[in-house]
Amino acid sequence: MSNKTRVPKLRFKGFQDEWEENKLENIANITMGQSPHSVNYTDNPNDEILVQGNADLDDGVVKPRIYTTQVTKESQKGDIILTVRAPVGEVAMNNFDSVVLGRGVAGIKGNNYIYTYLQKLFIEEYWSKISSGSTFQAVNSKDLKEVSLVLPSSVKEQEKIGEFFAKLDKLIGLYNKKISLKEEYLKWLIVKLTMINSALVPNLRFEGYDSSFDTSPLTNLISIKTGNKNVEDNIKGGKYAFFDRSSEIKYLNTFDFDEEVIVYPGEGSKFYPRYFKGKYSLHQRAYGLYNFKDINPLYLLAVLQTKSNVFLRFSVGTTAKSLRRETFSHVDIPTPSREEQDKIANLVTLAGQELELYKKKRSSIVNLKNAYLQKLFC
């Protein structure tokens, strides 16, 4: 153990003692998980909750998914659960009286300070530096025991710091729940307003509209093009949007087009549209839908968000799915009057803007938390 002492940049009033460095094994009990035999797995909520890895954790708590009748290693309520197999280092608090720990996790009896410190290590990618395995990363009992933490000698200072971050986590969790509800509402709204039944009408309509929808092939409503750029053309800090095969927008210092467009990645496991208006460029395997013909682009965007399965069905390839230009000819679009399209587009856009507002608020709190992680810890 190192004798090195430190102090953080920012402290709560009344604390002046230097902080000390210590190993995790000296300040917390660690229990490595052990998976029950698979024949004992069940879907019965009356059996023991099994936590195997990241899939069983959600928003900092346990999310029951699989159950077991065999108890191997246990975690009690209030314990920290840390993933020890890829992705390594994600943490949650056990919010149940007890859960069974599978081999993909470890249980740690520690306070909110230790929990937050482990969050900090994950954000700083500490675990990827010590993980074994080039493809499948994992850490073992020795790795956990050797983890070095810098902490206040005062338990009260640890408690203040832990409580402060627990409040931030709770606020972030509330925003996550609100965002999930807003996302579900947006999906519901789009489906109800745009998906037509056997009578060629949707299940939800604005007052004063009762005529049936027409249906038109997508290719009759738009023109389609691809770009000529490659991923390596991306310039960090560039001025103009560059859409490639990923969900992340990249940038260039030049542009090829200046218009309203709906962009589709040419490859992937899911095919979701993205709306853009302005100067941009396209990857040679990305598709731009433009030149909209008597269709509101934002209404079309909403409808296309319900068509992912159609694009998957008519994509090519087994492992990596790809779109072809002819894929778009298999998509039919329900088309009400332009006036009703505009009303639907406006309502869906407002719902989407409200969702983005909550996401921005959450991001600001996450950024605040990350800033305090740097200032309140050594």
Q: pLDDT digit string (tens) for 216-225?
A: 999 999 999 9
36 and 134 in a single domain? The answer is yes
Domain closes at, from 115, 130, 152: 152
Give 135's pLDDT tier (boundaries 50, 70, 90).
low
Domain closes at, from 319, 335, 351: 335
Give the whole-angstrom CA distance, residue 286 versus residue 264.
6
148 and 227 in a single domain? The answer is no
Strand pairing report for 274-282 and 240-243: parallel
Instruction: State the pLDDT at residue 128.
Output: 87
Sequence-distant (6+) residues with CB within 8 A of 232 are: none
Give 279's pLDDT tier (boundaries 50, 70, 90).
very high
24 and 145 in a single domain? The answer is yes
Give 245's pLDDT tier (boundaries 50, 70, 90).
confident
99 and 221 in a single domain? The answer is no
The structure tokens 């731009």 sit at: 288
Q: Buried b vs exposed e over 302-326: b needs ≥16 C-beta within 10 Å?
A: bbbbebeebbeeebeeeeebebeee
In this structure, is residue 78 part of a structural domain? yes
Amino acid identity of residue 293, one-letter, is: K
- The pTM of this model reads 0.86
145 and 226 in a single domain? The answer is no
Residue 132: strand, helix, or coil: strand
In this structure, is residue 184 part of a structural domain? no
In this structure, is residue 85 part of a structural domain? yes
147 and 218 in a single domain? The answer is no
Whichever domain contains 32, its CATH number is 3.90.220.20
144 and 241 in a single domain? The answer is no
Residue 14 gets the label, from left (phi > 0), alpha (psi -120 to 50) or beta, of: left
As for how many domains the chain has, the answer is: 2
Q: Which domain holds residue 229?
A: 214-335
Give the whole-angstrom CA distance, residue 168 versus residue 345.
35
141 and 223 in a single domain? The answer is no
In this structure, is residue 207 part of a structural domain? no
112 and 41 in a single domain? The answer is yes
In this structure, is residue 31 part of a structural domain? yes
What is the phi/psi pair of residue 204, to 5°?
-135, 130
24 and 98 in a single domain? The answer is yes
Domain closes at, from 126, 152, 178: 152
Percentage above 90 pLDDT, the chain: 90
User: Which regions of 77-193 does DSSP assign to beta strands (E)?
Assistant: 80-83, 91-93, 98-101, 105-109, 148-152
Other CB atoms within 10 A of residue 144 CB: 20
142 and 224 in a single domain? The answer is no
In this structure, is residue 360 part of a structural domain? no
CA dist 194 to 64, 153, 270, 289, Å?
35, 61, 20, 19
In this structure, is residue 49 part of a structural domain? yes
Are the CB atoms for 174 and 53 separated by under 8 Å?
A: no
Give 132's pLDDT tier (boundaries 50, 70, 90).
low
In this structure, is residue 186 part of a structural domain? no
Give 103's pLDDT tier (boundaries 50, 70, 90).
very high
